[in-house]
C-alpha cells in the first residue's frame, strides 16, 4: 500500500497550447485548434503520479472561469483534487510551437493577488486534509499577496506531524523553505550556488555543495537536475548519479514536475535513493518525448527506467 500524498500548487495555471507555421512579427498567424491542460507544479506532479498508478490529492486555489476549467480538466483525468475557492482568477499560460523549425515559445502569465483571508483558508485546508498525508509535495511559484513566510509556518506544522515534505520551488519561496528544512529539495545549479556560497559549480562541487546543505539540516535529500547530463541525488550517506537517456526531445514542458513525481512515487513505495533517481530521470526524460504540454506515457517511462536499471 502506498503512502498518502498531497500536492500543493499555490499559483496554478491552465496551459493553453497551439501550433503555428513560420512565426513572423506583425503578421496574422493562423493557429491550430488550442489544447487546454491543467498546469502548475504540484498539479503536474499529481497528473504524473496518476500515470504511475499512485493516487494523490491536488490542492490549489481556484477562481473564476479559468479555475472552473481547471477543475473540469482534472476531472477528465480522474485526478482527486481539493480546490480552495478564491476571488482571484486562476491564471492561464500560453505555449506555441513553430512547426517550421519546432521552436517552442512559452508565455507565462502572472497570477492575481491572493488576499490574507484566502491565504489563511488555503493554510487551513492543507492542515485539515483528510486522510492526512504522509508526503506533501510543494511545487511551483508563489502568487502575489502570499508572503514567503507562509511556507515556513506551514512546513513547521507539517513536520510536527511527521510529514515528509518534498519541495520544488525557487527564489524567495526556496529561501524560506530552507530556513525550516524539508525532506527533499530540487534546486538547479544556480540556486545551489547561491545557497552554498559557491560562484560556479560543476558535477563534483555540486555534490559537495549539496552535502553542505544536508549537514546544515536544510534537507535530507538534494536532487540536482543536470539537463542532458542526467541528475544527482544526494543524501547524508549516498551520492547517486543517473545519466539522461538519449531521446528525441519534442518539448521540455513539465519535465521537472515529472522528475519530482517519479522520485515521489518511489519514496511512497519505500524505495531506495538509487531507485528514486532512476525513476525521476526516466519520467523527466519521457516527458520531453511528448509534444506541447503533454506529460510522459507510462510506456516510455517504464522503458527508460528499465534501461537505466540495467
Residue that is written with C-alpha cell 512579427 in the block? 25
Distances (CA, A) of 47 to 1, 66, 176, 177, 278: 19, 18, 26, 24, 19
DSSP assignment letter at 184: E
Specify which residues 16 forms β-bridges with: 36, 94
- Using CA atoms, how far apart are residues 231 and 87, in angstroms rounded to an integer? 40
CA distance 289 to 141: 25
Asked if 37 and 72 touch (Cβ cutoff 8 Å), the reply is no
- The residues that bridge with 105 in the sheet, in sequence order, are 96
Q: Which residue has the cell 490549489?
A: 60
Distances (CA, A) of 26 to 23, 101, 102, 127: 10, 19, 20, 50
Residue 71: how many other CB atoms lie within 10 Å = 17
Residues annotated as part of the active site? 257
**CB-count burial class (<10 Å; 0-12, 13-18, 19+) for 250:** middle
Instruction: Give the number of other CB atoms < 10 A from CB of residue 243.
Output: 13
CB hemisphere CA count around 87 (13 angstroms): 8
Amino acid at each position: 500500500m502506498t503512502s498518502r500524498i498531497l500536492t500543493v500548487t499555490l499559483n496554478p495555471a491552465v496551459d493553453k497550447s497551439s501550433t503555428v507555421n513560420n512565426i513572423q512579427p506583425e503578421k496574422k498567424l493562423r493557429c491550430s485548434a488550442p489544447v487546454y491542460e491543467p498546469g502548475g507544479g504540484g498539479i503536474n506532479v499529481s497528473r504524473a503520479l496518476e500515470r504511475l498508478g499512485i493516487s494523490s490529492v491536488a490542492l490549489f486555489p481556484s477562481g473564476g472561469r479559468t479555475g472552473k476549467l481547471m477543475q473540469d480538466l482534472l476531472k477528465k483525468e480522474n485526478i482527486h483534487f481539493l480546490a480552495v475557492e478564491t476571488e482571484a482568477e486562476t491564471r492561464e499560460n500560453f505555449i506555441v510551437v513553430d512547426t517550421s523549425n519546432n521552436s517552442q515559445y512559452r508565455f507565462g502569465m502572472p497570477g492575481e493577488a491572493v488576499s490574507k483571508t484566502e491565504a489563511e483558508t488555503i493554510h487551513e485546508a492543507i492542515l485539515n486534509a483528510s486522510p492526512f498525508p504522509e508526503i506533501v509535495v510543494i511545487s511551483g511559484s508563489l502568487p502575489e499577496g502570499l508572503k514567503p513566510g507562509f511556507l515556513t509556518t506551514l512546513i513547521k506544522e507539517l513536520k510536527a506531524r511527521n510529514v515528509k515534505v518534498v519541495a520544488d520551488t525557487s527564489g524567495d519561496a526556496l529561501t524560506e523553505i530552507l530556513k525550516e528544512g524539508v525532506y527533499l529539495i530540487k534546486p538547479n545549479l544556480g540556486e545551489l550556488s547561491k545557497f552554498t556560497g559557491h560562484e560556479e559549480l560543476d558535477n563534483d562541487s555540486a555534490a559537495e555543495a549539496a552535502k553542505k546543505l544536508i549537514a546544515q539540516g536544510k534537507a535530507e535529500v538534494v536532487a540536482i537536475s543536470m539537463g542532458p547530463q542526467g541528475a544527482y541525488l544526494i543524501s547524508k550517506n549516498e551520492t547517486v548519479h543517473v545519466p539522461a537517456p538519449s531521446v528525441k526531445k519534442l518539448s521540455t514542458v513539465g519535465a521537472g514536475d515529472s522528475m519530482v513525481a517519479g522520485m515521489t512515487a518511489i519514496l511512497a513505495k519505500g524505495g531506495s535513493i538509487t531507485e528514486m533517481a532512476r525513476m525521476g530521470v526516466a519520467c523527466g526524460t519521457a516527458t520531453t518525448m511528448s509534444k506541447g504540454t503533454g506529460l510522459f506515457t507510462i510506456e516510455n517511462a517504464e522503458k527508460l527506467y528499465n534501461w537505466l536499471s540495467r
